[in-house]
Amino acid sequence: MKKLDNIVQNKKLKVNQLQEYGFQEKNGTFFYEKKINEGKFIVQLFLNRDSFKSRVIDEITKEEYILVDVPSACGKFILTLRKEYQEVLDDVIDKCFENEVYTSDDFFLINAYIKDKYHDDPEYLFQKSPGNAFYRNKKNKRWYAFIIKIPGEKLISSLKEEVEIIDLKYPKDKLDILLNDQRIFRGYHMNKKNWITIILNSGFSLDEIKRLIDISHNLSM
């Protein structure tokens, strides 16, 4: 049995998606299997909220085929079997898990607000920065919000830890007035003339962030 917990670090299990994908549930554990190698082997997956395990079963012997998980085992047959096995794992991870890089309460509340009001899900576009969440207007594909992690000292020299920020569009003719609030910064990631940045989980009013999200979304229309 192979443990896959490290593969799904910083990912959240989408429990509601499991049954649709083909998982069966028993006593809190979800089970899924798929035949590979022309039906000669079966990939079996076992997962719950605390663990994710897999194994490959030889259809003839009905026993676990452990060589597929032995890195030193090679040869055309093993490599082909391992590739098909990995493709099953990759697809399950893609369809049944989602990124959970962010930890602040503000992120989850903001994400829920945007999804409920605008029906937009975050997009994770860059492999080198898998946690960067981007939101864009469904009608015209224009960006109106980014949530990313950056070193805090990029905004405040005394802030040494990493922080989560949100970037939002704002009318450029009113930006100087808004910046009088020293908790609001010129856009870190975007054009500083018409974008603003707010540090999440810093005590900044969530209702005010929602109001600014609405303004940003309207500007993307």
What is the tens place of the pLDDT at every residue in 98-128? 766 555 678 888 988 999 999 988 887 665 5
Task: Answer yes or no: do 53 and 154 share one domain.
Answer: no
Predicted local confidence at residue 26, as pLDDT: 84
How far is it, in rounded angstroms, from Cα 218 to Cα 123?
19
Counting the structural domains of the chain, the total is: 2
Boundary (domain end) residue, out of 33, 67, 99: 99
pLDDT the model gives residue 202: 85
pTM above 0.85, yes or no: no
Residues 109 and 158 in one domain: yes
Instruction: Provide the token pair at 154.
Output: 């990029």
| Residues spanned by the domain of 9 | 2-99
21 and 41 both lie in a single domain: yes
Instruction: Identify whether the C-beta of residue 112 lies closer than 8 Å to the C-beta of residue 64.
Output: no
Q: Which of 28, 27, 82, 76 is nearest to 54 (CA)?
A: 82
pLDDT exceeds cutoff 90 at 51: no
- List Cβ neighbours of 200 (8 Å cut-off, separation of 6 or more): 104, 106, 107, 110, 147, 163, 164, 165, 166
pLDDT digits 0-9 by tens, 68-106: 999 899 899 999 999 999 999 999 988 888 766 555 678
Percent of the chain with pLDDT over 90: 46
* Residue 22, both tokens: 């083909």
| Residue 181 or residue 63, greater confidence | 63
Residues 6+ apart with CB under 8 A from 89: 4, 7, 43, 45, 54
Are 143 and 49 within one domain? no
Pair (206, 130) in one structural domain? yes
Same domain as 111, residue 83: no
Structure tokens that stand for 47 in this block: 């997962």
pLDDT of residue 128: 54
Buried b (16+ CB within 10 A) or exposed e, 73-104: eeeeeeeebbebbeebbeebeeebbeeebbeb
Domain closes at, from 66, 99, 132? 99
Mean pLDDT of 182-202: 86
